[in-house]
């Protein structure tokens, strides 16, 4: 894997390679938006019409709500941008009560393996706690940590590490 130096270039290459990453870029765009009204425009800008996502679908959740939040280095504090995403997740989950969720906690590669498993778990727990505070019932949520074992961005610099320090809300079937 060759090193990619600019975050922008890295993002675009990742999009080209991996459709799942599209959701991540969308989330980043959301984080930078002051108003939710801009969301469809952003989606259209990436060639994905907002209408493509059926309300209540997995795609709707990923694209229009944002399925992941990001953390600072070695931290499990829910940042302000993440709070906005989690509030939208909670609203969406209230609207579609048939979904259970698994919150996946992840760490970047700049730590040792065992500590990062615990750090990922700590991030997932903090995310679950925040969602519970937003009214998501505890019995609809489970957590799992993958530590640093499942990065989504693969370069060896901070542009990727910041994307890998994340908690991803994965929709599952009917509540557990």
Q: Which is nearer to another protein, 72 or 74 (CB)?
A: 74
Q: Which region holds residue 172: left if phi is over 0, alpha if psi is between -120 and 50, else beta?
A: beta
CB 93 within 8 A of CB 172: no
Binding map of another protein across residues 34-73, x = CB under 8 A, - = no contact: ----------------------------------------
Task: Provide, rounded to whole angstroms, the least separation between the CB of residue 86 and another protein.
Answer: 16
* Interaction residues for another protein, span 132-161 (CB under 8 A): 144-146, 149-154, 156
Of 42-50, 55-63, 85-93, 113-121, the window that binds another protein (rule: CB under 8 A) is 113-121
**Rounded CA separation 103/60 (Å):** 18
**Rounded CA separation 63/85 (Å):** 12
- Distances in whole angstroms, Cα of residue 126 to Cα of each of 3, 55, 89, 149: 32, 27, 15, 20
| Residues forming the site for another protein (CB under 8 A) | 1-3, 18, 74, 76, 109-115, 117-119, 121-122, 125-126, 144-146, 149-154, 156
């Amino acid at each position: 894997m060759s090193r990619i130096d600019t975050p922008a270039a890295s993002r675009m290459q990742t999009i080209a390679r991996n459709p799942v990453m599209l959701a991540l870029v969308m989330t980043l765009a959301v984080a930078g938006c002051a108003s939710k009204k801009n969301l469809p425009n952003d989606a259209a800008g990436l060639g994905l019409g907002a209408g493509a996502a059926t309300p209540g679908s997995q795609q709707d959740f990923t694209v229009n709500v944002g399925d992941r939040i990001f953390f600072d280095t070695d931290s499990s504090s829910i940042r302000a941008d993440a709070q906005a995403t989690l509030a939208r997740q909670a609203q969406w989950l209230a609207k579609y009560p048939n979904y259970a969720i698994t919150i996946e906690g992840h760490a970047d590669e700049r730590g040792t393996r065992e500590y990062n498993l615990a750090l990922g778990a700590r991030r997932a727990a903090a995310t679950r706690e925040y969602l519970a505070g937003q009214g998501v019932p505890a019995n609809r949520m489970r957590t799992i940590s993958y530590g640093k074992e499942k990065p989504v961005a693969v370069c060896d610099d901070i542009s990727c590490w910041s994307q890998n320090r994340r908690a991803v809300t994965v929709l599952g079937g009917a509540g557990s």
